Amino acid sequence: MNQRTDTLSPQERSERMSRVRGKDTKPELRVRRLVHSMGYRYRLHSRRLPGQPDLVFARRKKVIFIHGCFWHRHDDACPLTRWPKSRLDFWVPKLERNKLRDIDNQKKLTELGWAYLVVWECQVKDEELLAKRITDFLEGAP
Protein backbone atom coordinates (compact mmCIF):
# COMPACT_ATOMS: atom_id res chain seq x y z
CA MET A 1 0.00 0.00 0.00
CA ASN A 2 1.28 3.33 -1.08
CA GLN A 3 1.60 6.26 1.39
CA ARG A 4 0.74 9.68 -0.10
CA THR A 5 -0.18 13.00 1.43
CA ASP A 6 -3.76 14.21 1.38
CA THR A 7 -4.52 16.70 -1.40
CA LEU A 8 -7.20 18.41 0.72
CA SER A 9 -6.74 20.63 3.74
CA PRO A 10 -8.01 19.25 7.06
CA GLN A 11 -11.05 21.54 6.85
CA GLU A 12 -11.84 20.45 3.28
CA ARG A 13 -11.41 16.78 4.22
CA SER A 14 -13.67 17.20 7.26
CA GLU A 15 -16.35 18.89 5.16
CA ARG A 16 -16.20 16.16 2.51
CA MET A 17 -16.36 13.34 5.07
CA SER A 18 -19.34 15.00 6.79
CA ARG A 19 -21.32 14.39 3.59
CA VAL A 20 -20.88 10.60 3.83
CA ARG A 21 -24.25 9.18 4.82
CA GLY A 22 -24.95 6.20 7.04
CA LYS A 23 -28.62 5.90 6.12
CA ASP A 24 -30.67 6.64 3.02
CA THR A 25 -27.74 6.10 0.67
CA LYS A 26 -28.41 5.78 -3.07
CA PRO A 27 -27.93 1.98 -3.06
CA GLU A 28 -30.19 1.66 -0.02
CA LEU A 29 -32.93 3.76 -1.62
CA ARG A 30 -32.75 1.71 -4.83
CA VAL A 31 -33.09 -1.56 -2.89
CA ARG A 32 -35.95 -0.15 -0.81
CA ARG A 33 -37.85 0.94 -3.94
CA LEU A 34 -37.27 -2.47 -5.55
CA VAL A 35 -38.40 -4.43 -2.49
CA HIS A 36 -41.47 -2.24 -2.07
CA SER A 37 -42.38 -2.63 -5.75
CA MET A 38 -42.15 -6.41 -5.28
CA GLY A 39 -44.92 -6.14 -2.69
CA TYR A 40 -42.85 -6.66 0.47
CA ARG A 41 -43.28 -4.38 3.46
CA TYR A 42 -40.52 -3.76 5.98
CA ARG A 43 -39.27 -1.59 8.81
CA LEU A 44 -36.09 0.48 8.66
CA HIS A 45 -32.99 0.39 10.85
CA SER A 46 -34.29 -1.43 13.93
CA ARG A 47 -32.17 -0.42 16.91
CA ARG A 48 -33.34 -3.55 18.71
CA LEU A 49 -31.32 -5.78 16.38
CA PRO A 50 -27.55 -6.07 16.16
CA GLY A 51 -26.10 -3.86 13.43
CA GLN A 52 -29.35 -1.90 12.91
CA PRO A 53 -30.25 -3.73 9.67
CA ASP A 54 -31.34 -1.57 6.76
CA LEU A 55 -34.54 -3.55 6.08
CA VAL A 56 -36.33 -5.62 8.72
CA PHE A 57 -39.02 -8.20 7.92
CA ALA A 58 -40.13 -8.95 11.48
CA ARG A 59 -42.76 -11.62 10.79
CA ARG A 60 -40.27 -13.55 8.68
CA LYS A 61 -37.39 -12.94 11.14
CA LYS A 62 -35.24 -11.83 8.22
CA VAL A 63 -33.18 -8.72 7.60
CA ILE A 64 -31.30 -7.18 4.69
CA PHE A 65 -28.12 -5.14 4.97
CA ILE A 66 -27.13 -2.86 2.08
CA HIS A 67 -23.37 -2.44 2.38
CA GLY A 68 -21.12 0.02 0.62
CA CYS A 69 -18.25 -1.89 -0.97
CA PHE A 70 -15.62 0.58 0.26
CA TRP A 71 -16.85 1.00 3.84
CA HIS A 72 -17.62 -2.66 4.50
CA ARG A 73 -14.70 -4.18 2.53
CA HIS A 74 -16.36 -6.20 -0.21
CA ASP A 75 -13.97 -8.79 -1.67
CA ASP A 76 -10.86 -7.68 -3.56
CA ALA A 77 -12.39 -8.52 -6.96
CA CYS A 78 -14.86 -5.65 -6.52
CA PRO A 79 -13.68 -2.45 -8.22
CA LEU A 80 -15.36 -0.33 -5.54
CA THR A 81 -13.26 -1.94 -2.81
CA ARG A 82 -10.10 0.07 -2.96
CA TRP A 83 -7.74 1.34 -0.33
CA PRO A 84 -7.35 5.07 0.26
CA LYS A 85 -4.16 6.61 -1.04
CA SER A 86 -3.24 8.47 2.15
CA ARG A 87 -3.38 8.02 5.93
CA LEU A 88 -3.32 4.23 5.70
CA ASP A 89 -2.37 4.05 9.38
CA PHE A 90 -5.85 5.47 10.09
CA TRP A 91 -7.91 3.85 7.31
CA VAL A 92 -6.73 0.24 7.38
CA PRO A 93 -7.67 -0.39 11.04
CA LYS A 94 -10.92 1.59 10.69
CA LEU A 95 -12.13 -0.33 7.64
CA GLU A 96 -11.03 -3.67 9.07
CA ARG A 97 -12.99 -2.90 12.27
CA ASN A 98 -16.07 -2.23 10.13
CA LYS A 99 -15.72 -5.64 8.53
CA LEU A 100 -15.19 -7.40 11.87
CA ARG A 101 -18.18 -5.57 13.38
CA ASP A 102 -20.35 -6.75 10.47
CA ILE A 103 -19.28 -10.36 11.04
CA ASP A 104 -19.99 -10.05 14.76
CA ASN A 105 -23.46 -8.55 14.15
CA GLN A 106 -24.30 -11.29 11.64
CA LYS A 107 -23.29 -13.94 14.18
CA LYS A 108 -25.46 -12.30 16.87
CA LEU A 109 -28.44 -12.16 14.51
CA THR A 110 -28.06 -15.85 13.70
CA GLU A 111 -27.89 -16.68 17.42
CA LEU A 112 -31.13 -14.74 17.92
CA GLY A 113 -32.81 -16.81 15.19
CA TRP A 114 -32.75 -14.17 12.45
CA ALA A 115 -31.64 -14.77 8.87
CA TYR A 116 -29.76 -12.05 7.01
CA LEU A 117 -28.89 -11.14 3.44
CA VAL A 118 -26.08 -8.76 2.52
CA VAL A 119 -26.58 -6.74 -0.66
CA TRP A 120 -23.40 -5.06 -1.83
CA GLU A 121 -23.38 -1.65 -3.49
CA CYS A 122 -21.97 -3.13 -6.72
CA GLN A 123 -24.85 -5.66 -6.90
CA VAL A 124 -27.61 -3.04 -6.91
CA LYS A 125 -27.22 -2.23 -10.62
CA ASP A 126 -28.57 -5.58 -11.87
CA GLU A 127 -32.15 -5.25 -10.60
CA GLU A 128 -33.38 -8.47 -12.20
CA LEU A 129 -30.74 -10.59 -10.47
CA LEU A 130 -31.17 -8.64 -7.24
CA ALA A 131 -34.95 -9.17 -7.29
CA LYS A 132 -34.40 -12.92 -7.68
CA ARG A 133 -31.91 -13.00 -4.79
CA ILE A 134 -34.28 -11.07 -2.54
CA THR A 135 -37.29 -13.23 -3.46
CA ASP A 136 -35.29 -16.43 -2.87
CA PHE A 137 -34.14 -15.08 0.49
CA LEU A 138 -37.53 -13.85 1.71
CA GLU A 139 -39.55 -16.79 0.40
CA GLY A 140 -37.02 -19.46 1.36
CA ALA A 141 -37.07 -21.47 4.55
CA PRO A 142 -35.92 -19.61 7.67
pLDDT tens per residue, the chain (142 residues)?
Answer: 444 556 767 777 566 655 565 667 899 999 999 999 999 999 999 999 999 999 999 999 999 999 999 889 888 778 888 888 888 888 899 999 999 999 999 999 999 999 999 999 999 999 999 999 999 999 987 6
Task: List the domain boundaries for the chain.
Answer: 22-139
pLDDT (0 to 100) of residue 1: 46
pLDDT (0 to 100) of residue 79: 81
CATH number of 22-139: 3.40.960.10
SS (H, E, C) the chain: CCCECCCCCHHHHHHHHHCCCCCCCHHHHHHHHHHHHCCCCCEECCCCCCCCCCEEEHHHCEEEEEECHHHHCCCCCCCCCCCCCECHHHHHHHHHHHHHHHHHHHHHHHHCCCEEEEEEHHHCCCHHHHHHHHHHHHHCCC
